[in-house]
Amino acid sequence: MNEGIVVIVRSIIGFFTLLIFARILGKQQISQLTFFDYVLGITIGSIAASLSVDLSSRAWPHWVGLTVWAVIVWALQWFTLKCRPAAKYIVGEPTVVIMNGQIMEDAMRSIRYTLGDVLEQLRDKGIFDLNQVGFAVVETNGKVSVLLKPEFLPATPKDLKLTTQSSGLSTELIYDGLIINENLKQANVDKLWLENELKTKGISHISEVFLATIDSAGTLYLDTYKDHMK
Amino acid sequence: MRKVASYLIPILSLIIFVVIMQGGCYYITSWSERNIIPEYVNQVESDINAERWDNAQEDLHRLDLAWKKAIPRIQYHAERDAIDGIKENIARLSGSIEAKDRGLALAELNELAEHWDNLKN
């Protein structure tokens, strides 16, 4: 038995199986994961690690275990999407811990959240005075969302009756010295226009550009490899 | 086409993985001519029962060669302990045949056959 080759083959199987399952299970970010999702991730990762290097047991049972866990997670995700009461039961519900400036002690006790935890999360959001807080909600992922009292909310252009323009999303035209032709068409510009724009900025060749983007107003952002930092 | 490929590639990959992991099981259970280990086990057993010790040693040597050829085919399927177990059985069997100890030789041979059967699971 060539252990090195067996580990290589089993690692490839484990890695790509995990990649496929992770893609199937969706795009939840780490910050959005609930505690249960986090534990599931660790368990699935641990099974994949055993599949890769634990030669004292066969690869097949580990792979079956990995598949079963992934299928159960996928089934729960599907079920919570289709059935709202089930979602509340499985994922949990957000809990209001401060309502109209009043701390909800019973609600905090029910989710085993201390005042220290709430104050820490408020400070993390730059709020050091409880008088400013209108509502605070502990989300299912354990993070606190805060709504300040109206008098402490930051002023918006609408409050100041200012007119604003939407800048929209910018599109990459050059990345790593190469033109992205698909994006040129999408932005309704051509290579000639882009080269002229570069010349006006003193750039003689596209290969000098690291990144070029264009926004919906047609404004070009350029970054070259040569950084003139002083 | 691109969408079909995005579904087809992971499905094909998973199928290939299953074949790699379970291919050894097919090799062990197949009746093809390549799968001669159970046949050699029977030959060695009849040699030991008839106390033809020289023949038993020769057949065991063939069994050992066949086993060494089989390892690369089953190594992705079988666990290391099972492979090592058979290797140890062959070594002890060789010693007991040399010592002309019929009881010990049959015990080792039966354990070897049991290990081989366990590889099918």
Q: For residue range A153-173, what is the model confidence (pLDDT) as tens digits?
A: 888 888 888 888 776 788 899
User: What pTM was computed for the model?
Assistant: 0.69
Evaluate whether residue A159 is within a structural domain: no
Q: What is the mean pLDDT of residues A8-12?
A: 93
Chain A CB contacts of B78 below 8 Å: 58
Which residues of A, range 41-60, sit inside 8 Å of B by Cβ? 55-60
Chain B CB contacts of A3 below 8 Å: 80
Chain B CB contacts of A63 below 8 Å: 17-18, 21
Q: How far apart are CA A190 and CA A182, in angstroms?
A: 10
Q: What is the pLDDT of residue A228?
A: 65
Side-chain half-sphere of A201: how many Cα atoms within 13 Å? 17
Q: Which of B17, B72, B84 sits opposite A17 (nearest CB)?
A: B17
A:B CB pairs within 8 Å: 45
Evaluate whether residue A165 is within a structural domain: no
Evaluate whether residue A57 is within a structural domain: yes
Domain count, chain A: 3
Q: Is residue A215 within 8 Å of A230, Cβ to Cβ?
A: no
Q: Domain B2-118 belongs to what architecture?
A: Up-down Bundle (1.20)
Q: What pLDDT, in 10s, does the model give residues A95-123?
A: 999 999 899 999 999 888 888 988 999 99
Chain A residue closest in CA terms to B75: A1
Q: What is the mean pLDDT of residues A135-162?
A: 88
Report CB contact under 8 Å: B20, A3: no
What are the φ/ψ torsions at residue A75 (nearest 5 degrees)?
Answer: -65, -40
Evaluate whether residue A39 is within a structural domain: yes
The residue range of the domain holding A191 is 171-224
Q: Where are the domains of chain B?
A: 2-118
Band the pLDDT of A229: cuts 50, 70, 90.
Answer: low
Report CB contact under 8 Å: A2, B81: no
Q: Give the domain CATH number at A147.
A: 3.30.240.20
Q: How far apart are CA A164 and CA A168, in angstroms?
A: 12
Q: What is the pLDDT of residue B34?
A: 59
Domain boundary among A44, A65, A88: A88
Amino acid identity for residue A187 in this structure: A
Min Cα separation B25/chain A (Å): 11
Each residue's pLDDT expressed in tens, for chain B with a length of 121 residues = 778 888 899 899 999 999 888 877 777 766 555 568 888 888 898 989 888 888 999 999 988 988 888 888 888 888 888 888 899 999 999 999 988 888 999 999 999 888 888 887 6
Q: What is the ipTM of this complex?
A: 0.79
Domain boundary among A88, A113, A141: A88
Which residues of B, range 3-32, sit inside 8 Å of A by Cβ? 10, 13-14, 17-18, 20-22
Tell whether A14 and A70 lie within a shared domain. Answer: yes
Q: How far apart are CA A43 and CA A62, in angstroms?
A: 12
Chain B CB contacts of A6 below 8 Å: 75-76
Flag whether pLDDT at A74 surpasses 90.
Answer: no
Domain boundary among A88, A103, A121: A88
Chain position carrying tokens 């490839």: A12
Min Cα separation B84/chain A (Å): 9
